[in-house]
């Protein structure tokens, strides 16, 4: 009985040791290999190589082909606003009209002054020659007659036929006639100058009447309208912004090490976030003559047709410029790429069936596939689906 008691105590002690950890916590049962060491079931796809025209990927902002902040040419109070934001306008179309009563009154006054000047000068005003005016011609005739009388009087005085008093009278008459002729010429020149001044006044006042209407300088759309009826505006204040949206321009900065890849006429394909499944074709049209010293980049502009008006100025886009050479890219399903925080990863299945995690560069998306620029090799196999469970070194089975 004593031996049986000792045996029972040993069994109880052994059970207590196996059932508790140091510290009194229950021990984890030993159930075999850890679950994370079990192979993960995955789908896979082969990496395909493809050759295409090499491209240069750049980013930029779309701007209007033309954009203008319009200001009135004269100061005045707004009488009518004829357009709203988003309206399509044609070159020469009226956008804004100022109160023109004062301008018209000034124009009428200038026209009256012009009529007076023309009446004073008569038909001879067309030649702008003061010597053809009647009063000038009459003064000239009097001066010539007085000069002729003076010559004859001087001849007679030499023979003693006339007195010294008659000679002095002839000299005085000739001098007075010459002075009258000069005065007539000066008056005629003043009248002609007054006529020209009146013509300028008519032109200026008529232009002020015309300038009281703000017109579109080119075909486009109204981007902004910053004025309302009743406000007083000056030539320093912008009232309407017009932008031409067809075509659009995209300004891109080309790093100096890639300048040799760029030339006018290269094809460009543009993508914007607003239309992720659509590409917009264009071409490089303008290239700056100098590299910017602050960024060491060259500024180039691509022209993008926009006949349907889908694109809008201000959109940020990615431009793919086709270069004059070929390059290799690798095609894999989109389900084989894990994208997080702008970093793209794929999980290559190695010969030992273990995952090799790689960071790749996506060239573009084509339907259900993506094109990878670098980071893969043709013939490799990549895991697909539930990629968040995978990591470098994880054992998988297909």
User: pLDDT confidence of 155, banded at 50, 70, 90?
Assistant: confident
Kindly write down the DSSP assignment for every residue of 257-287, as one continuous string. GGGGG--TT-EEEEEETTEEEEEEEEEEEEE
DSSP state of 387: G
CA–CA dist 346, 339 (Å, integer): 9
The confidence score (pLDDT) of residue 13 equals: 45
pTM > 0.85: no
What pLDDT, in 10s, does the model give residues 344-381? Answer: 999 999 999 999 999 998 877 777 888 888 889 889 99
What pLDDT, in 10s, does the model give residues 91-118? Answer: 999 999 888 777 777 777 777 777 777 7
The confidence score (pLDDT) of residue 127 equals: 52
- Please state, for a pLDDT cut of 70, what percent of the chain lies above it: 89
* Residue of 257 and 244 predicted with greater confidence: 244
- Please state, for a pLDDT cut of 90, what percent of the chain lies above it: 25
Residues 216-223 have a mean pLDDT of 92
Residues 6+ apart with CB under 8 A from 34: none
φ, ψ dihedrals at 188, nearest 5°: -65, -40
Highest mean pLDDT among 11-15, 81-85, 189-193: 81-85
Residues 223-233 have a mean pLDDT of 91
Residues 133-143 have a mean pLDDT of 82
Q: Which of 59-68, 246-255, 308-317, 357-366 has the lowest mean pLDDT?
A: 357-366
Two structure tokens written together for 373? 């620029």
Q: Which residue intervals of the chain are DSSP H helices? A: 2-19, 101-121, 134-159, 164-211
The confidence score (pLDDT) of residue 128 equals: 66
The confidence score (pLDDT) of residue 219 equals: 92
φ, ψ dihedrals at 195, nearest 5°: -65, -45
The confidence score (pLDDT) of residue 83 equals: 92
Two structure tokens written together for 139? 């003064």
What pLDDT, in 10s, does the model give residues 266-317? Answer: 889 999 988 988 889 999 999 888 888 888 888 899 999 998 889 999 999 9
The confidence score (pLDDT) of residue 346 equals: 93
Instruction: Reduce the DSSP state of residue 170 to 3 states and report it.
Output: helix
The confidence score (pLDDT) of residue 380 equals: 92
CA–CA dist 46, 89 (Å, integer): 55
The pLDDT mean for the chain works out to: 81
User: pLDDT confidence of 37, banded at 50, 70, 90?
Assistant: low
CA–CA dist 203, 191 (Å, integer): 18
User: pLDDT confidence of 27, banded at 50, 70, 90?
Assistant: very low
DSSP H or E run through 5: helix 2-19
């Amino acid at each position: 009985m004593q031996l049986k008691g000792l045996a029972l105590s040993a069994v109880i002690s052994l059970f207590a040791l196996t059932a508790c950890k140091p510290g009194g916590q229950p021990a984890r049962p030993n159930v075999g290999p850890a679950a994370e060491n079990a192979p993960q079931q995955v789908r896979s796809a082969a990496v395909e190589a493809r050759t295409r025209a090499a491209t240069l990927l750049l980013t930029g902002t779309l701007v209007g082909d033309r954009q203008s902040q319009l200001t009135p040419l004269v100061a005045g109070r707004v009488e009518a606003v004829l357009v709203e934001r988003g309206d399509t306008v044609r070159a020469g179309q009226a956008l804004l009209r100022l109160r023109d009563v004062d301008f018209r009154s000034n124009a009428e006054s200038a026209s009256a002054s012009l009529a007076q000047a023309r009446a004073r000068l008569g038909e001879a005003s067309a030649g702008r020659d003061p010597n053809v005016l009647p009063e000038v011609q009459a003064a000239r005739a009097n001066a010539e007659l007085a000069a002729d009388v003076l010559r004859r009087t001087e001849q007679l005085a030499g023979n003693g036929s006339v007195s010294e008093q008659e000679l002095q009278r002839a000299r005085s008459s000739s001098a007075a006639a010459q002075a009258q002729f000069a005065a007539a010429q000066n008056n005629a020149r003043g009248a002609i100058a007054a006529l020209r001044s009146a013509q300028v006044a008519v032109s200026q006042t008529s232009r002020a009447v015309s300038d009281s209407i703000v017109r579109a300088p080119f075909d486009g759309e109204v981007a902004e309208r910053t004025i309302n009826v009743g406000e007083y505006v000056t030539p320093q204040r912008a009232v309407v912004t017009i932008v031409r949206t067809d075509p659009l321009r995209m300004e891109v900065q080309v790093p100096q090490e890639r300048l040799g890849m760029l030339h006018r006429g290269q094809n460009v394909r543009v993508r914007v976030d607003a239309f992720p499944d659509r590409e917009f074709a264009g071409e490089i049209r303008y290239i700056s003559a100098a590299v910017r010293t602050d960024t060491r980049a060259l500024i180039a502009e691509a022209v993008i047709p926009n006949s349907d008006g889908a694109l809008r100025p201000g959109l940020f886009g990615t431009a793919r410029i086709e270069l004059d050479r070929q390059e290799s890219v690798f095609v894999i399903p989109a389900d084989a790429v894990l994208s997080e925080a702008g970093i793209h990863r794929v999980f290559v299945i190695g010969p030992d069936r273990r995952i090799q995690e790689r960071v790749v560069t996506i060239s573009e998306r084509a339907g259900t596939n993506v094109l990878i620029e670098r980071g893969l090799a043709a013939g490799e196999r990549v895991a697909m689906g539930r990629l968040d469970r995978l990591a470098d070194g994880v054992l998988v089975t297909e």
